Amino acid sequence: MTKKLPDAPHTEAELPSTAALPVIDVMTLLGESREAILLHNGERYRLRITANNKLILTK
């Protein structure tokens, strides 16, 4: 019996077009704040902008 190898990473041509995805400006979610709580399937996630202006999403 042979083992199934893990799927290879997708090539760029195989990835879905980003044109079909919604684009939401982070400031629309955060407003004047640097963080927000997002609800997903009853779970709370914190989206925040770091001191280095990066985004972090934590559970």
Buried b (16+ CB within 10 A) or exposed e, 27-41: eeeeeeeeeeeeeee
User: Whole-model pTM?
Assistant: 0.63
Identify the CA nearest to 57 among candidates 21, 30, 23, 20: 30
| Domain assignment present for 13 | no
CATH number of 46's domain: 2.10.70.10
Residue 28 has pLDDT above 80, yes or no: yes
| pLDDT on residue 17 | 72
Residue 27 has pLDDT above 80, yes or no: yes
For residues 48 and 33, is the Cβ–Cβ distance under 8 A? Answer: no
| pLDDT on residue 11 | 64
Q: How far apart are CA 37 and CA 27, in angstroms?
A: 13
| Domain assignment present for 46 | yes
Task: Report the domain count for the chain.
Answer: 1
Give the pLDDT band (50/70/90) at residue 45.
very high
Tell me the pLDDT tens digit for each residue of 2-13: 555 556 565 656
